[in-house]
Structure 1
Protein backbone atom coordinates (compact mmCIF):
# COMPACT_ATOMS: atom_id res chain seq x y z
CA UNK A 1 0.00 0.00 0.00
CA UNK A 2 1.51 3.31 -1.05
CA UNK A 3 1.42 6.48 1.06
CA UNK A 4 1.14 4.70 4.40
CA UNK A 5 0.87 8.03 6.23
CA UNK A 6 -2.56 8.51 4.69
CA UNK A 7 -3.86 5.14 5.91
CA UNK A 8 -6.11 4.37 8.87
CA UNK A 9 -6.05 1.03 10.69
CA UNK A 10 -8.47 -0.70 13.05
CA UNK A 11 -6.87 -3.30 15.33
CA UNK A 12 -8.95 -5.57 17.54
CA UNK A 13 -7.37 -6.58 20.82
CA UNK A 14 -4.91 -3.73 20.42
CA UNK A 15 -4.49 -2.81 24.07
CA UNK A 16 -1.62 -5.22 24.77
CA UNK A 17 0.51 -8.00 23.34
CA UNK A 18 0.63 -8.57 19.59
CA UNK A 19 -2.10 -6.03 18.87
CA UNK A 20 -0.26 -3.33 20.80
CA UNK A 21 2.98 -4.21 19.02
CA UNK A 22 1.25 -3.89 15.66
CA UNK A 23 -0.19 -0.51 16.68
CA UNK A 24 3.30 0.70 17.62
CA UNK A 25 4.76 -0.43 14.31
CA UNK A 26 1.99 1.17 12.26
CA UNK A 27 2.15 4.47 14.13
CA UNK A 28 5.92 4.55 13.63
CA UNK A 29 5.10 4.55 9.90
CA UNK A 30 2.65 7.42 10.33
CA UNK A 31 -0.51 5.29 10.17
CA UNK A 32 -3.24 6.46 12.55
CA UNK A 33 -4.94 3.63 14.43
CA UNK A 34 -8.04 2.72 16.36
CA UNK A 35 -7.41 0.00 18.93
CA UNK A 36 -10.21 -1.97 20.55
CA UNK A 37 -10.50 -3.80 23.84
CA UNK A 38 -13.28 -5.13 26.02
CA UNK A 39 -12.59 -2.55 28.74
CA UNK A 40 -13.04 1.16 28.06
CA UNK A 41 -10.48 2.10 30.69
CA UNK A 42 -7.87 -0.28 29.26
CA UNK A 43 -8.52 0.89 25.68
CA UNK A 44 -8.26 4.53 26.73
CA UNK A 45 -5.09 3.94 28.76
CA UNK A 46 -3.33 2.04 25.97
CA UNK A 47 -4.33 4.74 23.47
CA UNK A 48 -2.94 7.37 25.82
CA UNK A 49 0.38 5.50 26.04
CA UNK A 50 0.61 5.15 22.27
CA UNK A 51 -0.30 8.79 21.74
CA UNK A 52 2.50 9.91 24.04
CA UNK A 53 5.01 7.82 22.06
CA UNK A 54 3.93 8.85 18.58
CA UNK A 55 2.06 12.14 18.96
CA UNK A 56 4.20 13.78 16.28
CA UNK A 57 3.74 10.92 13.81
CA UNK A 58 0.19 9.55 14.03
CA UNK A 59 -3.06 9.65 15.96
CA UNK A 60 -4.72 6.92 18.00
CA UNK A 61 -8.05 6.30 19.71
CA UNK A 62 -9.18 3.55 22.06
CA UNK A 63 -12.57 1.92 21.57
CA UNK A 64 -14.47 -0.37 23.90
CA UNK A 65 -15.66 -3.28 21.75
CA UNK A 66 -16.27 -7.02 21.99
CA UNK A 67 -15.41 -9.06 18.89
CA UNK A 68 -17.99 -11.67 19.91
CA UNK A 69 -20.76 -9.17 19.13
CA UNK A 70 -21.33 -8.05 15.54
CA UNK A 71 -23.09 -4.82 16.50
CA UNK A 72 -20.15 -3.95 18.74
CA UNK A 73 -17.82 -4.37 15.75
CA UNK A 74 -20.06 -2.21 13.59
CA UNK A 75 -19.92 0.48 16.27
CA UNK A 76 -16.12 0.24 16.40
CA UNK A 77 -15.84 0.77 12.65
CA UNK A 78 -18.31 3.66 12.82
CA UNK A 79 -16.30 5.28 15.63
CA UNK A 80 -13.08 4.96 13.62
CA UNK A 81 -14.75 6.52 10.58
CA UNK A 82 -16.13 9.35 12.70
CA UNK A 83 -12.69 10.07 14.14
CA UNK A 84 -10.50 9.54 11.06
CA UNK A 85 -12.89 9.68 8.07
CA UNK A 86 -12.20 6.16 6.80
CA UNK A 87 -10.68 2.72 7.48
CA UNK A 88 -8.10 1.21 5.12
CA UNK A 89 -6.61 -1.62 7.17
CA UNK A 90 -8.47 -4.05 9.44
CA UNK A 91 -6.45 -6.35 11.68
CA UNK A 92 -8.35 -9.12 13.49
CA UNK A 93 -5.99 -9.83 16.37
CA UNK A 94 -8.17 -10.39 19.44
CA UNK A 95 -7.92 -13.92 20.78
CA UNK A 96 -8.02 -16.05 23.91
CA UNK A 97 -6.97 -19.54 24.94
CA UNK A 98 -8.44 -22.19 27.22
CA UNK A 99 -6.62 -25.51 27.31
CA UNK A 100 -7.99 -28.79 28.64
CA UNK A 101 -8.54 -32.37 27.47
CA UNK A 102 -11.62 -32.63 25.30
CA UNK A 103 -13.43 -34.84 27.84
CA UNK A 104 -13.28 -32.11 30.49
CA UNK A 105 -13.39 -28.96 28.32
CA UNK A 106 -16.31 -26.91 29.61
CA UNK A 107 -19.09 -25.79 27.28
CA UNK A 108 -18.50 -22.21 28.39
CA UNK A 109 -14.78 -22.27 27.57
CA UNK A 110 -15.41 -23.91 24.19
CA UNK A 111 -17.99 -21.28 23.25
CA UNK A 112 -15.84 -18.36 24.37
CA UNK A 113 -12.88 -19.54 22.30
CA UNK A 114 -14.90 -20.19 19.15
CA UNK A 115 -16.87 -16.96 19.51
CA UNK A 116 -13.72 -14.89 20.07
CA UNK A 117 -11.11 -16.54 17.86
CA UNK A 118 -13.27 -17.65 14.93
CA UNK A 119 -16.58 -15.78 14.82
CA UNK A 120 -14.84 -12.59 15.99
CA UNK A 121 -12.67 -12.14 12.87
CA UNK A 122 -15.71 -12.84 10.65
CA UNK A 123 -17.71 -10.15 12.46
CA UNK A 124 -14.75 -7.77 12.23
CA UNK A 125 -14.36 -8.35 8.50
CA UNK A 126 -18.07 -7.98 7.81
CA UNK A 127 -18.26 -4.78 9.84
CA UNK A 128 -15.34 -3.28 7.91
CA UNK A 129 -16.27 -4.69 4.51
CA UNK A 130 -17.75 -1.54 2.97
CA UNK A 131 -14.67 0.49 3.92
CA UNK A 132 -12.28 -2.18 2.66
CA UNK A 133 -14.09 -2.35 -0.67
CA UNK A 134 -14.27 1.42 -1.00
CA UNK A 135 -10.61 2.00 -0.13
CA UNK A 136 -9.11 -1.15 -1.71
CA UNK A 137 -7.93 -2.10 1.74
CA UNK A 138 -6.08 -4.85 3.56
CA UNK A 139 -7.54 -7.41 6.00
CA UNK A 140 -5.10 -9.34 8.21
CA UNK A 141 -5.86 -12.02 10.76
CA UNK A 142 -3.56 -13.26 13.50
CA UNK A 143 -3.85 -17.03 13.54
CA UNK A 144 -1.20 -19.33 15.04
CA UNK A 145 0.98 -22.30 14.25
CA UNK A 146 -1.73 -24.03 16.28
CA UNK A 147 -3.78 -23.49 13.13
CA UNK A 148 -1.79 -26.17 11.37
CA UNK A 149 -0.23 -28.18 14.25
CA UNK A 150 -2.59 -29.84 16.71
CA UNK A 151 -1.54 -30.65 20.26
CA UNK A 152 -2.83 -32.44 23.34
CA UNK A 153 -5.26 -30.35 25.36
CA UNK A 154 -5.79 -27.94 22.49
CA UNK A 155 -9.10 -29.13 21.05
CA UNK A 156 -10.89 -25.78 21.28
CA UNK A 157 -7.87 -23.62 20.53
CA UNK A 158 -6.80 -25.81 17.61
CA UNK A 159 -10.34 -25.77 16.23
CA UNK A 160 -10.48 -21.98 16.38
CA UNK A 161 -7.05 -21.47 14.81
CA UNK A 162 -7.45 -24.14 12.12
CA UNK A 163 -10.76 -22.40 11.43
CA UNK A 164 -9.40 -18.87 11.22
CA UNK A 165 -6.59 -19.99 8.94
CA UNK A 166 -9.07 -21.61 6.56
CA UNK A 167 -11.50 -18.70 6.84
CA UNK A 168 -8.84 -16.16 5.98
CA UNK A 169 -7.54 -18.12 2.99
CA UNK A 170 -11.06 -18.50 1.60
CA UNK A 171 -11.75 -14.80 2.22
CA UNK A 172 -8.58 -14.00 0.29
CA UNK A 173 -9.95 -15.83 -2.74
CA UNK A 174 -13.35 -14.18 -2.36
CA UNK A 175 -12.05 -10.64 -2.05
CA UNK A 176 -8.92 -10.25 -4.17
CA UNK A 177 -10.97 -9.57 -7.31
CA UNK A 178 -12.55 -6.69 -5.38
CA UNK A 179 -9.17 -5.09 -4.75
CA UNK A 180 -8.89 -6.21 -1.12
CA UNK A 181 -5.70 -7.91 0.00
CA UNK A 182 -6.08 -10.59 2.68
CA UNK A 183 -3.36 -12.33 4.70
CA UNK A 184 -3.08 -14.45 7.83
CA UNK A 185 -0.04 -14.46 10.11
CA UNK A 186 0.61 -17.68 12.03
CA UNK A 187 3.09 -17.08 14.88
CA UNK A 188 4.66 -19.68 17.10
CA UNK A 189 5.60 -18.77 20.68
CA UNK A 190 5.31 -15.00 21.25
CA UNK A 191 6.36 -13.15 24.39
CA UNK A 192 3.03 -11.67 25.54
CA UNK A 193 0.62 -11.85 28.46
CA UNK A 194 -1.39 -14.52 26.64
CA UNK A 195 -3.00 -17.10 28.93
CA UNK A 196 -1.68 -15.45 32.07
CA UNK A 197 1.99 -15.36 31.07
CA UNK A 198 4.13 -12.58 32.52
CA UNK A 199 6.88 -11.76 30.01
CA UNK A 200 10.40 -11.66 31.47
CA UNK A 201 13.99 -12.40 30.50
CA UNK A 202 13.19 -16.09 30.16
CA UNK A 203 10.98 -15.18 27.19
CA UNK A 204 13.79 -13.55 25.23
CA UNK A 205 14.02 -16.57 22.91
CA UNK A 206 10.43 -16.09 21.80
CA UNK A 207 9.09 -13.95 18.99
CA UNK A 208 8.56 -10.43 20.34
CA UNK A 209 5.45 -8.36 19.70
CA UNK A 210 7.46 -5.81 17.72
CA UNK A 211 8.54 -8.60 15.37
CA UNK A 212 4.90 -9.20 14.40
CA UNK A 213 4.41 -5.45 14.06
CA UNK A 214 7.35 -5.27 11.65
CA UNK A 215 5.91 -8.17 9.67
CA UNK A 216 2.58 -6.34 9.27
CA UNK A 217 4.41 -3.24 8.03
CA UNK A 218 6.32 -5.39 5.54
CA UNK A 219 3.02 -6.78 4.24
CA UNK A 220 1.62 -3.28 3.79
CA UNK A 221 4.75 -2.23 1.88
CA UNK A 222 4.71 -5.26 -0.42
CA UNK A 223 4.35 -4.48 -4.11
CA UNK A 224 0.59 -4.54 -4.87
CA UNK A 225 1.08 -7.27 -7.46
CA UNK A 226 2.34 -9.70 -4.78
CA UNK A 227 0.31 -11.17 -1.91
CA UNK A 228 1.88 -13.28 0.86
CA UNK A 229 -1.44 -14.82 1.85
CA UNK A 230 -0.30 -17.15 4.66
CA UNK A 231 2.81 -16.47 6.72
CA UNK A 232 4.22 -18.90 9.28
CA UNK A 233 6.69 -17.38 11.72
CA UNK A 234 8.48 -19.09 14.60
CA UNK A 235 11.32 -18.53 17.05
CA UNK A 236 14.71 -19.14 15.48
CA UNK A 237 16.21 -21.02 18.43
CA UNK A 238 13.65 -22.47 20.85
CA UNK A 239 15.00 -24.16 23.98
CA UNK A 240 15.95 -27.82 23.58
CA UNK A 241 13.44 -30.21 25.09
Structure 2
Protein backbone atom coordinates (compact mmCIF):
# COMPACT_ATOMS: atom_id res chain seq x y z
CA UNK A 1 0.00 0.00 0.00
CA UNK A 2 1.30 3.44 -1.01
CA UNK A 3 0.64 6.70 0.84
CA UNK A 4 0.66 9.77 -1.41
CA UNK A 5 0.52 13.20 0.21
CA UNK A 6 -1.06 15.94 -1.86
CA UNK A 7 -2.62 13.24 -4.01
CA UNK A 8 -5.75 15.18 -4.92
CA UNK A 9 -4.19 17.51 -7.49
CA UNK A 10 -1.17 18.16 -9.67
CA UNK A 11 1.72 15.75 -9.54
CA UNK A 12 0.16 13.87 -6.62
CA UNK A 13 -2.98 13.15 -8.62
CA UNK A 14 -0.89 11.95 -11.56
CA UNK A 15 1.07 9.63 -9.25
CA UNK A 16 -2.15 8.23 -7.76
CA UNK A 17 -3.61 7.60 -11.21
CA UNK A 18 -0.47 5.83 -12.44
CA UNK A 19 -0.21 3.68 -9.31
CA UNK A 20 -3.90 2.80 -9.41
CA UNK A 21 -3.63 1.81 -13.07
CA UNK A 22 -0.85 -0.59 -12.08
CA UNK A 23 -3.10 -2.19 -9.49
CA UNK A 24 -1.52 -0.67 -6.39
CA UNK A 25 -3.58 0.24 -3.33
CA UNK A 26 -3.13 3.98 -2.76
CA UNK A 27 -4.23 6.17 0.14
CA UNK A 28 -4.28 9.94 -0.34
CA UNK A 29 -3.44 12.33 2.50
CA UNK A 30 -4.73 15.79 1.60
CA UNK A 31 -7.10 18.57 2.63
CA UNK A 32 -9.35 17.85 -0.36
CA UNK A 33 -10.64 14.47 -1.55
CA UNK A 34 -9.27 13.00 -4.78
CA UNK A 35 -11.31 13.27 -7.96
CA UNK A 36 -11.72 9.49 -8.00
CA UNK A 37 -14.04 8.74 -5.10
CA UNK A 38 -12.88 5.12 -5.15
CA UNK A 39 -9.40 6.11 -3.96
CA UNK A 40 -9.06 5.84 -0.15
CA UNK A 41 -8.59 9.27 1.41
CA UNK A 42 -7.68 10.69 4.80
CA UNK A 43 -8.42 14.38 5.27
CA UNK A 44 -5.52 16.07 7.03
CA UNK A 45 -3.76 19.41 7.26
CA UNK A 46 -0.14 18.43 6.71
CA UNK A 47 0.99 21.72 8.23
CA UNK A 48 0.22 20.20 11.63
CA UNK A 49 2.81 17.49 12.23
CA UNK A 50 0.83 15.70 14.93
CA UNK A 51 -2.19 15.53 12.61
CA UNK A 52 0.01 14.17 9.82
CA UNK A 53 1.34 11.46 12.13
CA UNK A 54 -2.17 10.55 13.28
CA UNK A 55 -3.31 10.30 9.65
CA UNK A 56 -0.56 7.77 8.93
CA UNK A 57 -1.58 5.90 12.09
CA UNK A 58 -5.12 5.71 10.76
CA UNK A 59 -3.84 4.32 7.46
CA UNK A 60 -1.87 1.67 9.32
CA UNK A 61 -4.90 0.75 11.42
CA UNK A 62 -7.11 0.39 8.36
CA UNK A 63 -4.67 -1.18 5.89
CA UNK A 64 -2.14 -2.95 8.07
CA UNK A 65 1.07 -1.77 6.45
CA UNK A 66 2.65 1.00 4.41
CA UNK A 67 4.94 -0.25 1.65
CA UNK A 68 5.83 3.14 0.17
CA UNK A 69 5.42 6.87 0.76
CA UNK A 70 5.43 9.58 -1.92
CA UNK A 71 5.40 13.14 -0.57
CA UNK A 72 3.88 15.31 -3.30
CA UNK A 73 2.19 17.89 -1.06
CA UNK A 74 3.65 21.34 -1.52
CA UNK A 75 2.58 25.00 -1.37
CA UNK A 76 4.17 28.39 -1.96
CA UNK A 77 3.46 32.01 -1.09
CA UNK A 78 5.96 33.98 -3.18
CA UNK A 79 7.04 37.47 -2.26
CA UNK A 80 9.81 39.42 -0.61
CA UNK A 81 10.58 38.32 2.93
CA UNK A 82 9.16 41.45 4.55
CA UNK A 83 6.03 41.37 2.37
CA UNK A 84 4.90 37.81 3.13
CA UNK A 85 2.89 37.45 6.32
CA UNK A 86 4.73 35.47 8.96
CA UNK A 87 1.92 32.93 9.26
CA UNK A 88 2.00 32.32 5.49
CA UNK A 89 5.80 31.98 5.49
CA UNK A 90 5.67 29.51 8.37
CA UNK A 91 2.93 27.46 6.71
CA UNK A 92 5.05 26.92 3.60
CA UNK A 93 7.79 25.46 5.79
CA UNK A 94 5.27 23.44 7.79
CA UNK A 95 3.63 21.77 4.79
CA UNK A 96 6.65 21.29 2.56
CA UNK A 97 9.29 20.25 5.07
CA UNK A 98 7.75 19.41 8.44
CA UNK A 99 4.78 17.62 6.88
CA UNK A 100 7.13 15.55 4.75
CA UNK A 101 9.19 14.56 7.78
CA UNK A 102 6.13 13.81 9.92
CA UNK A 103 4.57 11.44 7.39
CA UNK A 104 7.82 9.59 6.75
CA UNK A 105 8.56 9.38 10.48
CA UNK A 106 5.17 7.88 11.24
CA UNK A 107 5.44 5.35 8.41
CA UNK A 108 9.05 4.39 9.06
CA UNK A 109 8.48 1.33 11.30
CA UNK A 110 6.22 -0.21 8.66
CA UNK A 111 8.59 0.77 5.86
CA UNK A 112 11.49 -0.87 7.69
CA UNK A 113 9.51 -4.05 8.28
CA UNK A 114 8.64 -4.49 4.61
CA UNK A 115 11.85 -2.95 3.24
CA UNK A 116 9.74 -0.34 1.51
CA UNK A 117 10.52 2.85 -0.38
CA UNK A 118 10.17 6.60 0.07
CA UNK A 119 10.09 9.19 -2.71
CA UNK A 120 10.32 12.79 -1.50
CA UNK A 121 9.35 15.45 -4.02
CA UNK A 122 11.69 18.41 -3.93
CA UNK A 123 12.02 21.18 -6.55
CA UNK A 124 14.75 22.73 -8.63
CA UNK A 125 14.37 25.59 -6.13
CA UNK A 126 15.66 23.23 -3.49
CA UNK A 127 19.01 23.49 -5.24
CA UNK A 128 18.83 26.94 -6.85
CA UNK A 129 17.81 29.93 -4.72
CA UNK A 130 15.81 32.82 -6.18
CA UNK A 131 14.61 36.19 -4.97
CA UNK A 132 11.08 36.38 -3.57
CA UNK A 133 11.21 32.68 -2.72
CA UNK A 134 12.71 32.56 0.76
CA UNK A 135 10.00 30.33 2.24
CA UNK A 136 9.78 27.92 -0.67
CA UNK A 137 13.54 27.71 -1.17
CA UNK A 138 14.13 27.20 2.55
CA UNK A 139 11.55 24.43 2.67
CA UNK A 140 12.82 22.64 -0.41
CA UNK A 141 16.50 23.03 0.50
CA UNK A 142 15.36 21.45 3.76
CA UNK A 143 13.75 18.54 1.89
CA UNK A 144 17.06 17.93 0.11
CA UNK A 145 18.96 17.81 3.39
CA UNK A 146 16.29 15.73 5.10
CA UNK A 147 16.19 13.21 2.27
CA UNK A 148 19.93 12.80 1.92
CA UNK A 149 20.29 12.36 5.67
CA UNK A 150 17.44 9.83 5.64
CA UNK A 151 19.22 7.88 2.91
CA UNK A 152 22.23 7.53 5.17
CA UNK A 153 20.11 6.68 8.21
CA UNK A 154 18.04 3.88 6.66
CA UNK A 155 20.59 2.50 4.21
CA UNK A 156 19.94 -1.21 3.53
CA UNK A 157 16.57 -0.92 5.30
CA UNK A 158 14.40 1.43 3.22
CA UNK A 159 14.93 2.70 -0.31
CA UNK A 160 14.92 6.51 -0.49
CA UNK A 161 14.70 8.63 -3.63
CA UNK A 162 14.96 12.41 -3.92
CA UNK A 163 12.87 13.53 -6.91
CA UNK A 164 13.58 17.04 -8.20
CA UNK A 165 11.04 18.31 -10.73
CA UNK A 166 11.09 21.64 -12.45
CA UNK A 167 7.98 23.66 -13.28
CA UNK A 168 4.96 21.58 -14.30
CA UNK A 169 1.61 22.18 -15.99
CA UNK A 170 -0.50 22.07 -12.82
CA UNK A 171 -2.69 24.46 -10.83
CA UNK A 172 0.28 25.31 -8.61
CA UNK A 173 0.65 28.75 -10.21
CA UNK A 174 -3.06 29.61 -10.57
CA UNK A 175 -3.49 31.81 -7.49
CA UNK A 176 -0.37 33.89 -8.05
CA UNK A 177 -0.13 37.43 -9.34
CA UNK A 178 1.14 37.67 -12.90
CA UNK A 179 4.70 38.50 -11.86
CA UNK A 180 4.99 35.10 -10.18
CA UNK A 181 3.45 33.03 -12.97
CA UNK A 182 5.45 31.34 -15.73
CA UNK A 183 5.19 33.17 -19.06
CA UNK A 184 2.49 31.94 -21.42
CA UNK A 185 5.06 30.33 -23.72
CA UNK A 186 6.94 28.51 -20.93
CA UNK A 187 7.64 24.85 -21.78
CA UNK A 188 6.65 23.23 -18.51
CA UNK A 189 6.81 19.52 -17.82
CA UNK A 190 3.79 17.25 -18.03
CA UNK A 191 3.07 15.96 -14.49
CA UNK A 192 2.17 12.56 -15.96
CA UNK A 193 5.71 12.23 -17.26
CA UNK A 194 7.10 13.25 -13.87
CA UNK A 195 4.80 10.70 -12.24
CA UNK A 196 6.40 8.05 -14.45
CA UNK A 197 9.72 8.89 -12.77
CA UNK A 198 8.10 8.17 -9.38
CA UNK A 199 6.87 4.82 -10.68
CA UNK A 200 10.34 4.03 -11.99
CA UNK A 201 11.87 4.69 -8.57
CA UNK A 202 9.24 2.63 -6.75
CA UNK A 203 9.49 -0.39 -9.02
CA UNK A 204 13.24 -1.06 -9.12
CA UNK A 205 14.06 -4.68 -8.36
CA UNK A 206 15.70 -5.76 -5.12
CA UNK A 207 19.31 -4.70 -5.03
CA UNK A 208 18.77 -1.52 -7.07
CA UNK A 209 17.77 1.90 -5.77
CA UNK A 210 17.35 5.25 -7.50
CA UNK A 211 18.92 7.78 -5.14
CA UNK A 212 18.14 11.02 -6.99
CA UNK A 213 16.26 12.04 -10.13
CA UNK A 214 15.91 15.45 -11.82
CA UNK A 215 12.98 15.79 -14.26
CA UNK A 216 12.32 19.12 -16.02
CA UNK A 217 10.99 20.58 -19.22
CA UNK A 218 13.63 21.19 -21.90
CA UNK A 219 13.92 24.92 -21.23
CA UNK A 220 13.81 24.88 -17.41
CA UNK A 221 15.62 28.02 -16.25
CA UNK A 222 16.40 26.93 -12.68
CA UNK A 223 18.47 23.86 -13.52
CA UNK A 224 21.42 23.57 -13.42
The verdict on a shared fold, with TM-score over 0.5 as the criterion, is yes
1:72 pairs, out of 36, 51, 54, with: 51
Distance 1:195 1:112, change over 3 A: farther
Instruction: Confirm or deny that 1:233 pairs with 2:222.
Output: no
Instruction: Confirm or deny that 1:117 pairs with 2:99.
Output: no
2:7 aligns with 14
Deviations 1:41-62 (A, max 9, x none): x31x5241xx3xxxxxxxx301
2:193 aligns with 211
2:85 aligns with 106
2:124, 2:165 within 8 Å by CA — same for their partners in 1? yes
CA distance in 1, matches of 2:185, 2:22: 27
Deviations 1:128-164 (A, max 9, x none): 1111111111111110000001111111111111110
Instruction: Report how far residue 204 of structure 1 moved.
Output: 8.3
1:68, 1:120 within 8 Å by CA — same for their partners in 2? yes
1:193 aligns with 171
1:183 aligns with 161
CA distance in 2, matches of 1:237, 1:128: 37
Distance 1:87 1:150, change over 3 A: same
CA distance in 2, matches of 1:35, 1:152: 33
Deviations 1:20-75 (A, max 9, x none): 0000111111111001111xxx31x5241xx3xxxxxxxx3011012122332233
2:79, 2:132 within 8 Å by CA — same for their partners in 1? yes
1:81 pairs, out of 60, 72, 76, with: 60
1:27 pairs, out of 4, 9, 20, with: 20
Question: Match of 1:67, SS?
Answer: coil
Instruction: Report how far residue 225 of structure 1 moved.
Output: 2.1
Distance 1:238 1:111, change over 3 A: closer
Deviations 1:153-197 (A, max 9, x none): 1111111111101110110110113x2011111111111111326
CA distance in 2, matches of 1:238, 1:145: 9
Higher helix share: 1
1:221 pairs, out of 179, 203, 218, with: 203
1:146 pairs, out of 110, 115, 125, with: 125
Instruction: Report how far residue 106 of structure 1 moved.
Output: 2.2
Segments of 5+ residues of structure 2 without an aligned counterpart are 177-183
1:191, 1:204 within 8 Å by CA — same for their partners in 2? no
CA distance in 2, matches of 1:192, 1:95: 12
- Larger deviation, residues 71-80 vs 103-112: 71-80
How many corresponding residue pairs? 215
Distance 1:160 1:168, change over 3 A: same
1:191, 1:203 within 8 Å by CA — same for their partners in 2? no
